Chain A
Amino acid sequence: MRRGPRLGAFFRARAAEAWADEAVDLEIRHHLEMRIDELIEEGMDEAAARAKAEAAFGEMDRYRAECVALQRREERKMRWTDRVDGVFRDVVLGIRGLRRSPMFALTLLLTLGIGVGANTAIFTVVDAVLIRPLPYPLADRLVDINPADENSGIQLTQLRKEAALAWRDEADFLEAVGFWADEVQVWSQGETATRLTTHLISPELMTMLGVPPLLGRSIVESDAAPGAQRIAILSEERWSSDFGRDPDVLGASIELDGVPHTIVGVMPRSFRFPITSTRDVITALGVDAMTDLAQVGVVGLLPEQADTAVIHEQARAFQAGLVDEGLVMAAFSDVRVAPLDDWRDNPRIQQALRVLMGGAMLILLVAGMNAANLLLVRGSARRSEISVRLALGGGRGRVVRQLAVEAAIVTIASAGLAVLVSVLTLESILAFAPREVTGWSATPVELTGRVGLFTVVLAGLVSALFGVAPLMGSVASAAPAGVGARTTDGRRTQKWRSGLVVGEVALSVVLLAGAGLFAKSFTSLIRTDLGFDAERVVTVRPGLLEMLYPDEESRRAYFQAAREALLGLPGVVGVALSTGAPPSSGVTFGDPAMAEGLPMPADQPDFFPYSVVDAAFADVYGLRFVAGRPFAADEDPEAMARIIDLETARWLFGEDAPIGRRYRMGEDGDWWTVVGVVEDLHLHGFNDAGQEIEWLAPMEPGEASSYLSLSVRTSGDPSALVLPIREALLEIDPNQPVDDIHVVYDGLVDALSRERFLMRLMGVFAALGLGLATLGTFGVVSYVVRRRYREIGVRLALGAGVEDIRGMVVQQGVRLAAGGIVLGMLLCVPLGRTLDGLLRDVSTADPIVLAATALTAFVAAVAATAGPARWATKVDPVEVLGAE
């Protein structure tokens, strides 16, 4: 072939291409016109003739593209540019193919997008919480030093200050040791004072973590020196919300607990230490800050390539030495050296995330089956198209490439959609998820590159598995039959499709059953009788600030004023004072409890819920006495009166009448006398398994610790009183923050956020699964109706009633649903076991839940047949039979 100057050749080639396109169009148009003329001569009207001519021509875009390509290609051997060109053409063809059937394309992409998107969102959470390495360069060498009690297995997260200093200065088997602590402080900005948790970090620890600041500087050695100027480092979140990301924030001063701190830096969002960080403010844990603290957390840096077993031995020996020096309590002579992400071993979190991941995977399976189902509808059409292409000498490689390109288009489009779906899902997860799930991540829960990769791989896998595999099968098996044969293996396809729908229904039944179990468990949980009236009480824990209320006198005056102010509010019928109040009641650890004259009960709880309450408490909470009396206003503290609940009474005294009986904690504890017995009490809320033993002690008159709670009984809706209560308290002292304020019932339900979150998300999954399965049922039934138009026409012509036809169609759906329901119930048995421990008061084979599940799936299937059934009854026998 002659070659002109390159540029000329380029333009000639473009011009030739343009003509090639036009020529092919002309040729095809000519063919159609001729065919239409012919059909009109046979007596058809023009529109029908055009439709028939186009139908007879077949896949016009495809043939046109083939011809254009043949015209354009001048050389026999394809150069690589041709190859690229070919792929590009396949892309155009693929997109055009999808656009030609928009409903099909939309359904396919939505199905895959939702399936993959849900998985992406859940995987994002799982990745952030459980998988992604901690974002510190030396993360694999950083360890928590936790004192432990060998016998009980109890571990503490912090060490006494003196012991911590010894670890830092003397434990030379560690390369470095740093400290951290949390402190609740008050941030005063002008008139407003807010309470927040600040994180104190020592300069050594900051260096060990090795995360560079976003702005300004980190904590350095000189910040820890005695008398050093107090500094503060903002989290990126706080910097954004309070300072509008103003870079001039450096050098500004903020007041924490009345002490000015200079802002010297901002840490990036990715910095989270400790894991429970509130992402507010970090201050330096230096010599000065240390004087106010009793205990600090200790983090060590292992030497490179250290043998952890050896280090552990050395650490134990070191801790034992500290016990000898009297720096550590003898009970905690053991020490645990654990990686910083040890919390990832928390089985409750892992199980919750596993269940969510499993639910998302089921959705994906249902979505994949739905996609396969959709593609099978097109399958027969595609199979004959593939045969034709093979007959035309398209070559199997070419056809396979075309299919691969189509799969890639579906993959990319659905992955794009999936990202959108997952962003929305993540937003709602983050809005509703308990801290336990999303807060416990070392890095922000957000879409990242690796999650994106996960999405694309998943979308690719699904579209390959469910989309292309069936067609690949037809490439291998289809005899190239451009002439004569019309491939019709409708029956086999039909079986496949029905099988897929049965599978979809089965999996959606599993999801429904799971959602039902969670819902029932949650409902039974929040209906637990708590033994007190939680619905009409608001609690406030002012947490009086040391700097404002340094002595008992001032605190007593505050509580006195608060009680009077609150009683004066309209709608308030009673005010009680207590140490701890629901939703956050107090507990005591202690020696084992025993009743006078009886052997010590063997099943001692780990700790005893215990509240010190005033005389008004019983009325405010509506305690229901079964025997004895409430505390009197002038209860003699020396009399050691106690109120216990029935369960405790039975535990301590068996069937004996408890009033007047005595019990104590430990061999040398004081004897306490039971003066009242109330119905089973659960001050700790709904989820208080293992805290059945609880009692109340009378408050000494004039008691005024800074952590007392006020409980306010209302006559009407308690939430309407939250604001007035807050204002009334702020009126007493505007500098004392009032932020720990709750309607008791809401607070107790909020404490179930993990259970509620699981329930809601499973509910969403179940709805998605059911929706997809219903779509699948609809697809198959309407396909069957279309295929049986003729038969239906004959039946109608022979006098079948509309009801018979409707029944026949509905029966189709019902048969699929029945198969799916039975299969789903069978799957529920092994899958139910994965929920063990997440459910309360519900067996995984709960008959009511399973019956409701079956009924829902059944109703959905019948609903899915409604449309096709109506079409079937509208079949016009004359038209259908005449058309053949």
Chain B
Amino acid sequence: MNPNSGLLQGTLEFLILQSLKGGDSRHGFGVLRWIRDASDGALEIEEGALYPALHRLERKGWVASEWGLSEKNRRAKFYTLTRVGRTQVSRQEKDWSRYVDVVGRVLAVASEG
């Protein structure tokens, strides 16, 4: 298996968890909007892909959901981060930093050589 895929596969989930980190409760479209704004539109997602990812996170117990009314008074499913989810986020952030760090160092070595 491609060694990168473990990380890439989790990218979408990572982004979702990031959008909920602040303690906000968001519906799917809200999550999408957050990702779009946070990345200045640079990350292009097939929107539907978001939902299986959200449901997967819910099944893992990292996010919880409840039904409520959205800002336009529509029935929507809102997601929040659970405690388990929160520890996952910080662990993933550490992994991510380490990864960026390592790649950075490799790049530095490569450009020196």
State the A residues within 8 Å of B (CB). 23-24, 26-28, 30-31, 33-35, 37, 56-60, 62-63, 66-67, 70-71, 73, 384, 388, 390-393, 479-484, 486
Contacts and interface: CB of A to CB of B under 8 A. Distances in A.
Given A23-B77, A58-B47, A484-B44, A31 B4 contact: no
B11 A483 contact: yes
A383 to B, nearest CB: 13
Contacts of B5: 390, 479-480
B8 interface: yes
A482 B77 contact: no
Contacts of B58: 70
Interface string B49-60: 101110110110
Contacts of A479: 2, 4-5, 8
Interface in B24-60: 27-29, 32, 43-49, 51-53, 55-56, 58-59
A482 B56 contact: no
B111 interface: no
20 contacts: A24-B51, A26-B75, A26-B77, A27-B51, A30-B27, A30-B70, A56-B46, A56-B47, A59-B48, A62-B48, A70-B59, A71-B55, A384-B46, A391-B49, A393-B56, A480-B9, A482-B11, A482-B45, A482-B46, A483-B12
A344 B27 CA distance: 75
Interface string B65-109: 000001010111100000000000000000000000000000000
Given A58-B46, A392-B52, A30 B9 contact: no
Contacts of B4: 479
The 10 residue pairs across chains A and B that have the minimum distance between CB atoms: A63-B48, A58-B46, A70-B55, A66-B52, A34-B29, A58-B48, A57-B48, A57-B47, A30-B76, A31-B29
A486 B44 CA distance: 9
Contacts of A24: 51
A391 B9 contact: yes
A33 B74 CA distance: 9
Contacts of A486: 44
A70 to B, nearest CB: 4
Contacts of B48: 28, 57-60, 62-63
B8 A481 contact: yes
A635 B48 CA distance: 101
Contact of B53 (A31, A60, A392, A481): A392
A300 to B, nearest CB: 68
A35 B28 CA distance: 11
B34 to A, nearest CB: 13
Contacts of A66: 51-52, 55
B8 to A, nearest CB: 6
A28 B43 contact: no
Nearest to B2: A479
Residue of B11, B15, B48 contacting most chain A CB atoms (<10 Å)? B48
A27 B47 contact: no
A24 to B, nearest CB: 7
A392 B56 contact: yes
Interface of B is mostly: helix
Nearest to B4: A479
Contact of B52 (A30, A56, A67, A481): A67
Given A31-B28, A392-B12, 4 more contacts: A26-B75, A57-B47, A66-B51, A482-B45
B49 A63 contact: yes
Contacts of B72: 34, 37
A30 B74 contact: yes
Given A31-B29, A34-B29, A56-B47, A390 B75 contact: no
B75 A30 contact: yes
A26 B51 CA distance: 12
A73 B59 contact: yes
A219 to B, nearest CB: 73
Contacts of B49: 58, 63, 388, 391-392, 482
Contacts of A67: 51-52, 55
Interface string B1-22: 0101100110110010000000
A268 to B, nearest CB: 59
Nearest to B1: A396
For B2, B46, B59, B75, the residue with the greatest tally of chain A CB atoms inside 10 Å of its CB is B46
**Residue among B47, B52, B56, B75 having the largest count of chain A Cβ atoms under 10 Å:** B52
Contacts of B45: 482-483
Contacts of A60: 48
B64 to A, nearest CB: 14
Contacts of A390: 5, 9
Contacts of A57: 46-48
Nearest to B76: A30
Nearest to B13: A393
A484 B2 CA distance: 18
A741 B44 CA distance: 82
A24 B46 CA distance: 17
Contacts of A63: 48-49, 51-52
A486 B43 CA distance: 11
Contacts of A27: 27-28, 51, 76-77
A574 to B, nearest CB: 87
Residue of B5, B11, B55, B72 most packed against chain A (CB within 10 A)? B55
A67 B74 CA distance: 20
| Most chain B CB neighbours (cut-off 10 Å) among A37, A480, A486 | A480
Contacts of B56: 70, 392-393
Contacts of B8: 391, 479-483
A70 B47 contact: no
A481 B47 CA distance: 14
Nearest to A394: B52
B11 A28 contact: no
A63 B54 CA distance: 11
B11 to A, nearest CB: 5
A643 B73 CA distance: 110
Contacts of B53: 392
Contacts of A59: 46, 48
B47 A388 contact: no
A59 B27 CA distance: 20
A142 B11 CA distance: 74
B25 to A, nearest CB: 14
A407 to B, nearest CB: 24
A35 B55 CA distance: 20
Given A73-B59, A392-B56, A31 B47 contact: yes
A685 to B, nearest CB: 71
Contacts of A26: 75, 77
Contacts of B12: 391-392, 482-483
Contacts of B29: 30-31, 34-35
A390 B8 CA distance: 10
A192 to B, nearest CB: 76
A59 B5 CA distance: 22
Contacts of B28: 27, 30-31
A144 to B, nearest CB: 65
Nearest to B11: A483
Nearest to B35: A483
Nearest to B42: A484
A532 B17 CA distance: 96
B47 A391 contact: no
B44 to A, nearest CB: 6
Nearest to A481: B8
A70 B74 contact: no
A479 B9 CA distance: 9
A491 to B, nearest CB: 22
A28 B27 CA distance: 11
B51 to A, nearest CB: 5
